[in-house]
Copies of this chain bind each other. A is one copy, B any other.
Amino acid sequence: MARARKAPKFRRVPPSLRREALIEAALTSLRKHGHEGLSVRRIGAEAGVSPGLINHHFPSVSTLVAAAYETLSMSLLESIQRRARESDASPRERLRRFFQASFAPALLDPALFNTWLVFWSMTSHHPEVRAVHDRTYAAYRAALGSLLGELRPSDGVPRFKVRPAAIALSALLDGLWIEASINPRTFRPAQAVALCEDWTNALCAGALPSLIERAASA
């Protein structure tokens, strides 16, 4: 009879690849089970790997989560930015696409929202996660600021302060994203986009005085 070659019980994988696979498994587990997906057993099962392997490659679960946070954040930001810049369009048009991409169905997935909540809830007690938050949010606002910086204010309107403007706009985007994620029936994605556009137009028109250069609010 043909030599029955035993199927190997597991495969050895170089550490860097294994780490990446674990990060991916962690994201899937968080997406599937929310806060309960945070367990070496679940993540290990998701990766088809024994629970002990997580602690073998990461000093703690929070380190793994921090890495997963960074991966997901950057992936989403790149995806949004790609859509914003894909065809050469006017700065105004690019910003519009950024808004649209931010409220695309893939971004309004409740599972994604729950994943995000897990990240947020860890920021207070896990410095590594908090560091990732600070870094990725800075990147997010930088991207927004870069797009805002290309806009030109209406004639006769002084320049606006790009960084605070990016902070404010990201807050508006976040607030809308959260409510849309929790309760999609509150408003439609197109309305969210329209609100962001309105805000941007108001900014360019000089209707938001506290963001005007050298002329903070009364």
Binding site for B on A (CB under 8 A): 34-35, 110, 113-114, 117-118, 120-121, 123-125, 130, 133-134, 137, 164, 167-168, 170-176, 178-179, 182-183, 186-187, 191, 194-195, 197-199, 201-202, 205, 207-211, 216-217
Contact = CB atoms under 8 A, between A and B. Distances in A.
Total copies of this chain within the assembly: 2
B217 A137 contact: no
A110 B175 CA distance: 18
A39 to B, nearest CB: 13
Contacts of A172: 171-172, 175
Contact of A210 (B35, B170, B171, B191): B191
B182 A178 contact: no
A161 to B, nearest CB: 11
Given A134-B183, A171-B179, A205-B207, A114 B121 contact: yes
Contacts of A164: 187, 191
A192 to B, nearest CB: 8
Give the interface SS of chain A, mostly helix, strand, loop or mixed.
Answer: helix
A117 B114 contact: no
A125 B118 CA distance: 15
A14 to B, nearest CB: 35
A207 B217 CA distance: 17
Contacts of A197: 210, 217
A197 B218 CA distance: 11
Given A35-B121, A172-B172, A175-B174, A198 B217 contact: yes
Nearest to A174: B175
Nearest to A208: B198
A147 to B, nearest CB: 18
Contacts of A182: 120, 123, 130, 133
A67 B147 CA distance: 44
A114 B110 contact: no
22 contacts: A35-B35, A35-B121, A118-B121, A120-B178, A121-B121, A130-B182, A134-B183, A168-B176, A170-B179, A171-B176, A171-B195, A172-B175, A174-B175, A174-B179, A175-B178, A191-B210, A198-B207, A199-B199, A199-B208, A202-B202, A202-B208, A205-B207
